[in-house]
Structure 1
Amino acid sequence: MDGDRGTWRKCSLAGAVFAVCMAGTTLPTPLYGLYQDKFGFSELTVTVVYAVYAFGVIGVLLLAGNASDAVGRRPVLLWGLAFAAASAVCFLSATGLGWLYAGRLLSGFAAGLFTGAATVYVIELAPHGGGSRATFVATAANMGGLGCGPLLAGLLAQYAAWPLYLPFAVHLALVAASAAVLLWLPETVAERRALSTVRPQRPSLPPQVRPVFGPAAIASFVGFALFGVFTSVSPAFLAESLDVDNHAVSGLVVALAFFASTAGQLAVTRVGMERSLPLGCAALLAGLALLAGALRWDLLLLVVLSALVGGTGQGLAFRAALGAVAEASPPDHRASVISTLFVVAYAGISVPVIGVGVLTGPIGLEGAGLVFIAVMAVLVSTAGVYLVRRLRRTTPEHARPAP
Structure 2
Amino acid sequence: MTAPPRATASRGTQADAALLTAMMTLAFAGVTLTTPLLPTYQAAWSLSVFETTALFAAYVPGVVFSLLMLGGLADVVGARVTLIIGAVLCASATLIALLAQEPLHLIVARIVMGVGVGLIPAATLAGIGAAGVPPVWGARLVSIATTTGIAAGLLLGASTAGLGPAGAQTVYLAVFAPIAVWTLARRNVHEPRRPVARRATVRLAVPSRGRRHFALALSVVALAFTGMGLLAGLGPLFAAGAAASGTVYGAVGAAVAYMLSGLTQLLIAVRFAGPRTGGVVLASGLAVLAVGVGWSSRGALLIAAVCIGIGNGLLFPASFRLADRLAPPGQKAGVISAYYLAMYAGIAIPLLGFGALTDLTSVGTATSVFAVVVGVLAVVLTGRGLEPELDDVSNRRGAA
**Shared fold by TM > 0.5?**
yes
User: CA-to-partner distance for each residue in 1:168-205, whole Å, 9 max, x for gaps?
Assistant: 12211122122134224442662359xxx999777652
For 2:370, give the aligned amino acid. Answer: V
Unmatched tracts of structure 1, length 5 or more: none
For 2:374, give the aligned amino acid. Answer: L
**Quick one: distance in 2 between partners of 1:112 and 1:395?**
26
For 1:116, give the aligned amino acid. Answer: A
CA contact (8 A) 2:322 2:390 kept: no
User: CA-to-partner distance for each residue in 1:275-309, whole Å, 9 max, x for gaps?
Assistant: x2232222221221222223222222222222221
Which residue is equivalent to 2:14? 8
Which residue is equivalent to 1:100? 106
Percent identity for Structure 1 against Structure 2? 25
Q: Flag the 1:389–1:171 CA change in 2: closer, same or farther, 3 A.
A: closer
User: CA-to-partner distance for each residue in 1:347-370, whole Å, 9 max, x for gaps?
Assistant: 12222234445666776xxx3475
Mapped pair 1:257 → 2:257: yes
Q: Flag the 1:152–1:182 CA change in 2: closer, same or farther, 3 A.
A: same
**Quick one: distance in 2 between partners of 1:329 and 1:126?**
18
Mapped pair 1:228 → 2:234: no
Of 377, 384, 388, the match for 2:383? 388
Which residue is equivalent to 1:327? 325
Unmatched tracts of structure 2, length 5 or more: 1-6, 396-400
**Quick one: distance in 2 between partners of 1:199 and 1:237?**
47
**Quick one: distance in 1 between partners of 2:252 and 2:387?**
39
Worse-superposed segment, 305-314 or 95-104: 95-104
Tell me the CA shift for residue 121 of structure 1: 1.9
CA contact (8 A) 2:72 2:204 kept: no
Mapped pair 1:83 → 2:66: no
Q: Flag the 1:60–1:247 CA change in 2: closer, same or farther, 3 A.
A: closer
Mapped pair 1:56 → 2:57: no
Higher relative contact order (CA 8 A, sep 6+): 1
Of 360, 372, 378, the match for 1:377? 372
Q: Flag the 1:164–1:334 CA change in 2: closer, same or farther, 3 A.
A: same
**Quick one: distance in 1 between partners of 2:165 and 2:337?**
39
Which residue is equivalent to 2:244? 244
Tell me the CA shift for residue 251 of structure 1: 4.7
User: CA-to-partner distance for each residue in 1:4-54, whole Å, 9 max, x for gaps?
Assistant: 121111111111111111110111121122223233445555444333323
CA contact (8 A) 1:63 1:201 kept: yes
Worse-superposed segment, 331-340 or 375-384: 375-384
Mapped pair 1:149 → 2:153: yes
SS in 2 for 1:162: helix
Which residue is equivalent to 1:174? 178
CA contact (8 A) 1:26 1:231 kept: no
Mapped pair 1:136 → 2:140: yes
Count of aligned positions? 389
Which residue is equivalent to 1:304? 302
Tell me the CA shift for residue 317 of structure 1: 0.7
Which residue is equivalent to 2:4? none
Q: Flag the 1:109–1:117 CA change in 2: closer, same or farther, 3 A.
A: same
Q: 1:258-273, aligned counterparts within 5 Å?
A: 258-269=258-269, 271-272=271-272
For 2:154, give the aligned amino acid. Answer: P
**Quick one: distance in 1 between partners of 2:201 and 2:386?**
36
SS in 1 for 2:187: helix
Which residue is equivalent to 1:345? 343
CA contact (8 A) 1:56 1:107 kept: yes
CA contact (8 A) 1:120 1:335 kept: yes
CA contact (8 A) 2:257 2:305 kept: yes
CA contact (8 A) 1:219 1:380 kept: no
Mapped pair 1:215 → 2:213: no
CA contact (8 A) 2:61 2:114 kept: yes
Q: Flag the 1:252–1:17 CA change in 2: closer, same or farther, 3 A.
A: same
**Quick one: distance in 2 between partners of 1:340 and 1:90?**
28
**Quick one: distance in 1 between partners of 2:326 and 2:390?**
18
**Quick one: distance in 2 between partners of 1:42 and 1:293?**
31
Normalised by the size of structure 2, how large is the TM-score?
0.84
SS in 1 for 2:62: helix
**Quick one: distance in 2 between partners of 1:49 and 1:368?**
24
**Quick one: distance in 2 between partners of 1:45 and 1:360?**
21
Of 26, 46, 69, the match for 2:75? 69
Which residue is equivalent to 1:165? 169
SS in 1 for 2:269: helix
